[in-house]
Amino acid sequence: MIALELDERMIAALKESAPKADVRRVDALKVSLEDILQELPEPRGVVSNLPYYITGPLLTKIAESRESFAVAVLMMQKEVAQRVMACPGNSDRGSLSVFLQSQFDISITAQVSAGSFVPPPKVDSTVLKFVPKHLDVERTGQPFFFRLIRLGFTQPRKTLANNLVAGLSRPREDLVEILEKIDLEEKVRPHDLMVEKWIELSRELEGHS
C-alpha cells in the first residue's frame, strides 16, 4: 500500500495505524498517479476520502489514470456524488457527470452521515465505486471528446447548440444539421444527452471538421 498525504500532522498517525504502508507526503494533484500505481502489483485499486475543496480536479486526475487500476472506491460530498451519478434529464447532470460516466461504471457503495466523523463536518458524504470501461477508450479517450463536453456545458441553462456555436466557432446551421442527423432537436439542452449521444456528436463534429 502506498498512502499519499499532504498534511504533515497525519503522517505520524498513518505510520502508527498502518506501519507497513509506504506513506508519502505529497500533493496528489502534483504527482503522477500512473507512475505511483505502476509500483504496485496487480490488481490495483485507488481508495480515498476526497478533500471537498479539490474533489473535482482530483476526480479528473484519477480518471486520467484509469488504465492503471481495476477499481476506485472514493468518498465525496453527497451533493457532488449526486452530480456524478445524475442521469440524462436531471438538472444536476453536468460535464463531470458525462466525463466520468463515459469512462466508468459507477455505483453507490454507502451513504455516510456527518456524525460518522470527529469532528463532524457540515455535510453528509457518499462512497462511490468506479470500475473502468476499458472497451470505451477508443471512443471516448480523445481530447476532442472531453473538450466537447466542457463546451457543451459552458452555460448549462442554454441550449447545446448555443453553447457549441460559441465554443466551436461553427455556423449554427451546420450544428443544427448535425444534431438532427443524430436525432437531437435544435433546442436540446446539454443535460438531456445520454453518453452515447455525446459520443455520436463527437464523431460527427470531427468528421465535419
Q: Model's pTM, two decimal places?
A: 0.89
Instruction: Report the distance separating Cα 12 and Cα 132, nearest Å.
Output: 33
Residue 208 has pLDDT above 70, yes or no: no
CA distances from 61 to 29, 33, 88, 173 (A): 7, 8, 24, 36
Q: Which pLDDT band, with edges at 50, 70 and 90, does 81 fall under?
A: very high
Ramachandran region, residue 89 (left: φ > 0; alpha: ψ -120 to 50; beta: rest): left
Instruction: Count CB neighbours of 151 within 10 A.
Output: 17
* Beta carbons of 7 and 27 less than 8 angstroms apart: no
Q: Which pLDDT band, with edges at 50, 70 and 90, does 207 fall under?
A: low
State the average pLDDT over residues 100-127: 93
Exposed e or buried b per residue across 43-82, where buried means at least 16 C-beta atoms within 10 angstroms of its C-beta: ebebebebeeeebeebbebbbebbebbeebebbbbeebbb
Q: Which CATH number fits domain 142-207: 3.40.50.280, 3.40.190.10, 1.10.8.100, 1.10.3720.10?
A: 1.10.8.100
Instruction: Report the distance separating Cα 197 and Cα 134, nearest Å.
Output: 19
| Residue limits of CATH 3.40.50.150 in the chain | 42-135
**CB-count burial class (<10 Å; 0-12, 13-18, 19+) for 157:** exposed
Residue 178 has pLDDT above 70, yes or no: yes
Instruction: Report the distance separating Cα 158 and Cα 155, nearest Å.
Output: 6
Q: Quick one: what percent of the chain has pLDDT higher than 70?
A: 95
| Residue limits of CATH 1.10.8.100 in the chain | 142-207
- In sequence order, the β-bridge partners of residue 105 are 131
Q: What is the mean pLDDT of the chain?
A: 90
| Sheet containing 125-132: order of strands | 45-49, 71-77, 125-132, 104-112
Say what the pLDDT of residue 192 is: 95
| Domain 42-135 falls under CATH 3.40.50.150 | yes
